[in-house]
Structures are given as C-alpha cells and as structure tokens.
C-alpha cells in the first residue's frame, strides 16, 4: 500500500493536506504569461493576496522572475529587488499565512527565508543554481521539486522523451534520493506541466498523474491558464478559466494534493465538488 503524507512541516507549523489545498499565484513581474504587471505595485499585491486568502488559499507563491517559455533569466540581485518590498509587507500583513518563494536562485531563497517565508518552490530542481539545495537543507523547509527539460529560454524548442511519464519519474527518483540522503523530508513533487513538454506530453502526464503517488510525496500541479488549454480549444484569447477548472478536476481525481492557481475561488470550487463527489461514493454505514 502506498503511503500518502497528509502534513508538511512549515517551519514548526503543520500544513494539513488531508484535503487538497490551493496555492495562490502572485507574480510580481512585468512579463509573466498570464498576469504580468498587475501586481508589481505592493498595494495591489496586498489586495490580491488578501482576496486569495479570503477565497481559501492555504499557500501564497510569490515570484519575481517570469518562467514563461522564452523568458530570459534575471540575476539574483534583480530578482530580489522585485520581490523584497512585496515579501516584507506581505509577511507583516498576513502573519498566519503560508508563503512560498518561487525562485531558482540560492541567494533569493536565503533572503526570503530570512524574512520568514515557509517554502521554496524551485522550477529547476537546483540545476540552475546548485547552491539552492544547501539553502533548503540549512533552513529545513519544504521544497517543491519540479521537472523541467532545459531552461525557460529554450525549454519549448522541440522537447522530446523516450516516454515522458517514465522519464519524469526517473528524474524525480534520482532527485529524491539526493534529498533523502541530505535529510530533506518535506518534499512536494510537481511534474512540470508546460516546462519542456509538448501538448501530448502534458496530457500524458495528467492522465498518469496517479503513477507519481509511488514517490510517497504530495503532488502539486501547475495547470492554471496554461497554453495546453488554449491550444486544444483553438482559442488563445479567452481567460482559459473553464479549461483550467476541467484540468484541475482531472488532476484531483488522479491524486493531486496542491493546485497552483491564479483564480483561487475557481480552484476551491473544484476541490469542494470533488470532495462531495467522493463522499457520495463512500459506503453508507448501517447502525
């Protein structure tokens, strides 16, 4: 029987994952693919985070660097200049919330953790900046281990796999072995939808998401507003929210524990309906 963890130790406070949760996305960059420029102003970011928490988000993921296909890499100093004013205000305004820092720079992660951030969300599995691993070890915080083929600037240039699910699984197993050897226990796995994958690769991963339960770590999915939705529906102009909700529901059905989402209210509705559906299928106990 596969063991499924139900909590994460976030710097001494347990985050309950018995029921799936939502990680709200806060991009504070000018060029993020969906909401670039909306929350570069700190006051606007505060309002958005307050809204996401009120709608039910358990984690707020703050990113100062775009990871859209073709994005260029910012230096650690430039990235920190983007996120530092936001993090200081957010952590002061919402002391009960869980915050993650979306970065692949060790320097940015360390400074964010010094301010009080709880989780490191690294799209690169410490391959862009190998020093990031030591930061996670030093601070004993949960770590999001994501798969990406290549780097943001080049990842969508003809990605290829022998078998995408097996290849991503092998990558995760190798990385988890290193993390376990270094006593990093609270790890979230993310197959990396859209990060060096074709549309077919993305849907194969979603279809076989249950396979990643064998890793015995919570599964996070980043499907929100991804191009796989617009491409299939042949419509790149709409907000992709309906398609996002469909994919979130499929991900929940296939084992996802964390939905990383722009629209928290919609993601929460997916979780509520998914829970009610499963409750209806539970055997009725007779008195």
In the set 110, 226, 240, 257, the catalytic residue is 226
**Active-site annotation holds for 260:** yes
Q: What is the CB neighbour count within 10 angstroms for residue 10?
A: 19
H or E, element range at 167:
helix 164-181
E strands, 134-252, are 143-146, 187-190, 220-221
**Active-site annotation holds for 225:** no
* Cβ neighbours for 8, distance < 8 A, ≥ 6 positions apart: 14, 15, 17, 119, 142, 186, 188, 218
With CA atoms as reference, report the closest residue to 43 among 93, 99, 103.
93
In the set 260, 275, 276, 286, the catalytic residue is 260
With CA atoms as reference, report the closest residue to 90 among 132, 131, 43, 136.
43
Cα–Cα distance for residue pair 98/91, rounded to 1 Å: 9
Angle subtended at Cα 159 by Cα 156 and Cα 165, rounded to the nearest 5 degrees: 120
Q: What are the catalytic residues?
A: 226, 260
């Amino acid at each position: 029987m596969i063991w499924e963890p139900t909590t994460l130790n976030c710097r001494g406070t347990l985050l309950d994952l018995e029921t799936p949760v939502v990680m709200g996305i806060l991009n504070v960059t000018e060029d993020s693919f969906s909401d670039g420029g909306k929350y570069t102003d700190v006051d606007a970011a505060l309002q958005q985070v307050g809204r996401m928490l009120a709608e039910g988000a358990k984690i707020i993921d703050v990113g100062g660097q775009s990871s859209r296909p073709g994005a260029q890499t910012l230096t650690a100093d430039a990235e920190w200049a983007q996120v530092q004013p936001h993090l200081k205000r957010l952590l002061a305004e919402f002391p009960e919330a869980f915050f993650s820092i979306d970065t692949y720079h060790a320097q940015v992660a360390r400074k964010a953790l010094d301010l009080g951030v709880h989780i490191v969300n690294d799209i690169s599995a410490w391959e862009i900046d190998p020093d990031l691993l030591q930061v996670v070890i030093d601070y004993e915080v949960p770590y999001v281990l994501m798969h990406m083929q290549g780097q943001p600037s080049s990842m969508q240039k003809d990605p290829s796999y022998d078998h995408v699910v097996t290849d991503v699984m092998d990558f995760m197993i190798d990385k988890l072995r290193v993390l376990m050897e270094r006593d990093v226990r609270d790890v979230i796995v993310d197959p990396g939808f859209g990060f060096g994958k074709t549309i077919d690769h993305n849907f194969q991963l979603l279809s076989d998401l249950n396979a990643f339960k064998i890793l015995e770590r919570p599964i996070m999915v980043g499907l929100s507003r991804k191009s796989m939705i617009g491409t299939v529906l042949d419509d790149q102009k709409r907000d992709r929210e309906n398609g996002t909700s469909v994919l979130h529901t499929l991900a929940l059905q296939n084992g996802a524990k964390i939905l990383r989402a722009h629209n928290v209210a919609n993601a929460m509705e997916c979780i509520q309906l998914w829970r009610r559906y499963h409750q209806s299928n539970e055997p009725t106990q007779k008195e």
